[in-house]
Structure 1
Amino acid sequence: MYIAVSQSSRFESIWQLISVSIIFLIVLGLSYFTTKWISKIQKKQSFNKNIEVIETFKITTNKYIQIIRTGEKYLVIAIAKDNISMLTELTEQQLNLTMDEEVSKETFGEILNRMKDLKHKK
Structure 2
Amino acid sequence: MAKPIGQRPRVLRYVLLAIGWLSVALGVIGIFLPVLPTTPFLLLAAASFARSSPRFYQWLVHHPHLGPWIRDYLDGNGIPLKGKVYAISLMWLSIGFSCYLVPSIWARSFMLTSAVLVTTYILRQKTLRT
Q: TM-score, normalised by structure 1?
A: 0.20
Normalising by structure 2, we get a TM-score of 0.19
Higher relative contact order (CA 8 A, sep 6+): 2
* Higher strand residue share: 1
**Bigger helix fraction:** 2
